[in-house]
Amino acid sequence: MQKLIKYCFIFLLLSGQTFAQDVTFTASASSTTVAAGEQFQVTYSVNGNASKFQAPAFRDFDVVMGPSQSMSTQIVNGSFSQSVSYTYVLIAQREGTYEIPSATVEVNGKKLQSNSLRITVVKGNPQQQQQAQGSSGNQQSSSAGLDSKSVFIRTFVDRSNVLLGEAITVTYKLCTKVNLVSYNITKLPSFTGFWNEDIPLQQQLQFSRQTIDGVLYSVADVKKVVIYPQRSGTLTVDPMEGEVIARVQVKRNRQQSNDPFDNFFNDPFFNNSIRDVKYPIKSEPAKITVGELPKAPTDCNFSGTVGKFNAEFSLDKKETKTNEAVTLKIKFSGKGNIKLIEAPAVNLPPDIESYDPKVNENITVAAGGSSGSKSFEYLLIPRKPGHYKIPLDGFCYFDVAKKSYVKITPPELSVMVERGTESGAATVSGTSKEDVRMLNKDIRFIKTGPLQDSSSEKLIFLSPAFYMLQAFPFAAMLIVLFVRRKQIQQQSNIALMRSRKADSVARKRLKTAKKFLAANEKQKFLDEMFRALWGFASDKLRIPVSELSREKIREELALKNMPEEIISSFNETVDACEYARFAPPSEDYRLEDIYNKGIKVLTELYKSRR
């Protein structure tokens, strides 16, 4: 509007006059050698009626402010001249020599191109550089009336005192009293000491009017997540960092001029301008006090599940035949940390063969925690006929509402197995007279040499080999009984069995993680890698899930005389896996590197334990 009025005055005064001038379009910098973190100006000037200005891409610099446009007009002895300038305020963060490409503009329908600029960035004072990075936006925005009460991020937690494994909803809200052009999250929180799951939000921010600290703001949820503490004590929910570009109205400082047009437009009505100002924002950390769960009863098979759940146990058939499959299904449903439920142990008779369970999840994450179901399907194949009972371990969880443990006792399941058409026992058919006959010779050959007394030949039943062959079946039976008894004792020791199967379980999970990596399914890949590392440590070191923590793992590995580099490598891999779930893609946390590092640390742990 200001430009339009000014052009109208000029047109009325200079109508009918013709003028010509040499049009130039140049780029200049306040300094071509700057320190890292120091602000400097880049100005593009054109001495003509310019339009369609196109700035270059400032790839190696941060734009603090701009473009700020200014115009000047002069009339000397009837000669008219006009110039327009566009100014940017930039900051360089890294040392080196960089080139700012050319800008373009149109004057009287002709497209002009400016010169490029070469900027040398030298090492600056670290303290000044840090202040420039964190406060340059504040310095620029202070003139625009921005402060920490104008726009900020606030962390809200629905509870700050919880028990181990209890769900906490964390919401990061963007609060503003000014108009925002855009926002960008530069650092996501790392939930150290928590298992976390994101609550889906819409990509477009949904603002609503809310009162915070007695002031009315426009508020939108930026990130919402459900976290489950994995260790007791005082834990910290890390802050979120970002930056916004706010569109604010600022006053322009004009100097007195002899030009009547400049004095006219120096009126306060024309002296305000709209600028887009970058401003850094950061939320405050939140403290969570996590209490220990009460001691579980001795008959409660507690594995760290907290919430409210139901359990279903069923067989798809009660009667079957040998070598025919039967499906055992165990389903858990309810609300809580349901994703952390492990496959329950099934103690099967030796004549029933089983396979690893198939896991199905139907989980919804919302404010207040996760809810849904998780089921395990076991494929059972009876090899011999008979009536078999399927003994199942009870399921025990901690009910937060009741503040007590709840034990679910499974029903007694059994299956009747009949002999199938194809039995495993061998059968022998009858022998016919045709099978007994002399081959090739019907008369024994008459020897022509000296005869030997058959009584001098050693009888076979008097030889040591005969008695060894007779004793072999009894010895084999004793060995089989001893091995079988040993297996039964080992299977009754659940911790020992988990420790022995830790290697194979970790390999399967790494194989599954590799499939997710190939399919570019980041979330599933990181979940499987976390289970592989965490599960291997729990099984190999025989640490219950309810007591599993980084400190506990470090303590147990140190007691086993593990090298410190292996312990540190394990913790670094787990931290990288947790951080990469929410961090933006970067060279520091590439999924392939996390996978290779996980394989390496598990291999080192396996070799050291062996």
What is the 3-class SS of 309-350, one letter each residue? EEEEEEECCCEEECCCCEEEEEEEEEEECHHHCCCCCECCCC
pLDDT at 433: 36
pLDDT (0 to 100) of residue 191: 86
What number does CATH give the domain 494-609?
Answer: 1.20.120
Answer yes or no: pTM beyond 0.85. no
Residues for the chain: how many in total? 610
Domain ranges of the chain: 2-124, 151-248+281-290, 299-418, 494-609
Using CA atoms, how far apart are residues 485 and 202, in angstroms rounded to an integer? 59
Separation between Cα atoms, residue 495 and residue 540, nearest integer Å: 9
CA distance 447 to 426: 43
- Please report the sign of the dihedral spanned by the C-alpha atoms of residue 482, residue 483, residue 485, residue 489: positive
Identity of residue 291: G
CATH class of 151-248+281-290: mainly beta
Q: Which residues pair with 74 in a beta bridge?
A: 81
Give CA 306 to chain center in angstroms. Answer: 22
Long-range contacts from 569-574, C-beta under 8 angstroms, 24+ separation = 569/597, 569/600, 569/601, 569/604, 570/533, 570/537, 570/601, 570/605, 572/597, 573/533, 573/597, 573/598, 573/601, 574/530, 574/533, 574/534, 574/550
Tokens standing for 254? 């004009």
DSSP state letters, 514-531? HHHHHTT-HHHHHHHHHH
Tokens of 567: 């312990």
Beta bridge mates, 306 = 398
Alpha-carbon distance of 230 to 51, in angstroms, equals: 61
Q: Are the C-beta atoms of 316 and 280 separated by less than 8 Å?
A: no
Q: From the centroid of its chain, how far is CA 453?
A: 89
User: What gap in Å lies between CA 209 and CA 154, rounded to an integer?
Assistant: 15
Neighbours of 606 (CB within 10 A): 15
SS3 81: strand
- CATH superfamily of the 2-124 domain: Immunoglobulins (2.60.40.10)
Separation of alpha carbons 583 and 187, rounded Å: 8
The predicted pLDDT at position 16 comes to 37
Nearest-10 Cα torsion for 507, 512, 513, 517: 140
* Residue 263 CB partners (closer than 8 Å, separation 6+): 256, 257
Question: CB under 8 Å to 584, separation ≥6 — which residues?
Answer: 188
Residue located via tokens 């002399």 = 438
CA distance 196 to 68: 45
CATH of 299-418, one of 2.10.25, 2.60.40, 2.30.29, 2.60.120: 2.60.40
Q: Give the pair of three-digit tokens for residue 411.
A: 């029903």
**112 with 104: CB under 8 angstroms?**
yes
Beta bridge pairs of residue 334: 309, 372
Q: Which residues contact 235 (CB under 8 A, 6 or more apart)?
A: 192, 193, 194, 229, 287, 288, 290
What are the angstrom distances between the C-alpha of 119 and each of 24, 96, 136, 153, 460?
22, 8, 20, 35, 103
* Beta strands 33-35; 117-122: pairing state: parallel
| CA–CA gap between residue 167 and residue 269 (Å, rounded) | 56
Q: Dihedral sign, CA of 349, 350, 351, 357?
A: positive
Mean pLDDT by groups of 10 residues along the chain of 610 residues: 53 42 82 81 84 85 78 60 81 86 87 90 60 43 63 91 90 90 86 88 85 87 91 90 83 52 47 76 92 86 86 89 90 87 83 87 84 90 88 85 88 87 43 39 56 55 75 87 78 59 81 86 83 81 74 80 81 78 60 83 72
Task: Determine the Cα–Cα distance for residues 455 and 459; give it in Å rounded to an integer.
Answer: 9
Q: Could you check whether 151-248+281-290 and 299-418 share the same CATH topology?
A: yes
Cβ(302)–Cβ(394) below 8 Å: no
For 141, how many CA atoms within 13 A lie in the half-sphere containing its CB? 25
Q: What is the DSSP letter of 587?
A: S
Surface-to-core class of residue 408, CB atoms within 10 Å of its CB (0-12 exposed, 13-18 middle, 19+ buried): middle
Residue with tokens 């060894």: 468
- Provide φ and ψ at 250, rounded to 5°: -125, 160
Which candidate, 609, 599, 610, places its Cα nearest to that of 528? 599
Cα–Cα nearest to 53, from 88, 114, 101, 103? 103
